Amino acid sequence: MSERLSVRKTYKLYINGAFPRSESGRSYVVTDAKGRFVANASHASRKDVRDAVAAARKAFGGWSGRTPYNRGQILYRIAEMLEGRRAQFADELRTAGLAKAAASAEVDAAVDRWVWYAGWADKLAAVAGSANPVAGPFFNFSTPEPTGVVGVLAPDSPLLGLVSTVAPAIVSGNTAVVVASEPAPLPAITFAEVLATSDLPGGVVNVLTGRRDELAPWLASHMDVNAIDLAGVPADAAADLEEKAAGNLKRVVRPDESDWGAEPGTARMTAFLETKTVWHPVGV
Cβ–Cβ < 8 Å for 207, 193: no
pLDDT at 139: 87
Cβ–Cβ < 8 Å for 166, 154: yes
Distance CA 26, CA 40 (A): 10
pLDDT at 247: 94
pLDDT at 130: 84
Structural domain contains residue 5: no
Strands across the sheet containing 10-11: 10-11, 37-42, 27-31
The DSSP element (H or E) to which 77 belongs, if any, is helix 68-84
Domains in the chain: how many in total? Answer: 1
What is the CA 50 to chain-centroid distance, rounded? 17
Structural domain contains residue 4: no
Structural domain contains residue 2: no
Closest CA to 178 of 225, 248, 142: 225
pLDDT at 43: 96
Domain range for 115:
10-281
Strand spans (E) along 5-126? 10-11, 27-31, 37-42
pLDDT tens, per residue, the chain with 284 residues? 567 777 788 999 999 999 999 999 999 999 998 999 999 999 999 999 999 999 999 999 999 999 999 999 999 999 999 999 999 999 999 999 999 999 999 999 999 999 999 999 999 999 998 888 888 888 888 889 999 999 999 999 999 999 999 999 999 999 999 999 999 999 999 999 999 999 999 999 999 999 999 999 999 999 999 999 999 999 899 999 999 999 999 999 999 877 898 999 999 999 999 998 888 888 75
- Say which residues have a Cβ less than 8 Å from residue 248's Cβ, sequence separation at least 6: 223, 225, 226
Q: Could you give the C-alpha distances from 172 to 29, 145, 256, in angstroms and in order? A: 36, 8, 23
Q: Could you give the C-alpha distances from 197 to 11, 103, 208, in angstroms and in order? A: 17, 24, 18
Structural domain contains residue 1: no
Q: What CATH number does residue 182 fall under?
A: 3.40.605.10
Sign of the torsion angle spanned by Cα atoms 225, 228, 232, 235: positive
pLDDT at 5: 76
Beta-carbon neighbour count of residue 184 at 10 Å? Answer: 26
Structural domain contains residue 130: yes
Q: What is the DSSP string of 223-258?
A: TT--EEE-TTS-HHHHHHHHHHHGGGT-EEE-----
Q: Could you give the C-alpha distances from 247 to 73, 91, 218, 233, in angstroms and in order? A: 36, 41, 12, 19
pLDDT at 91: 95
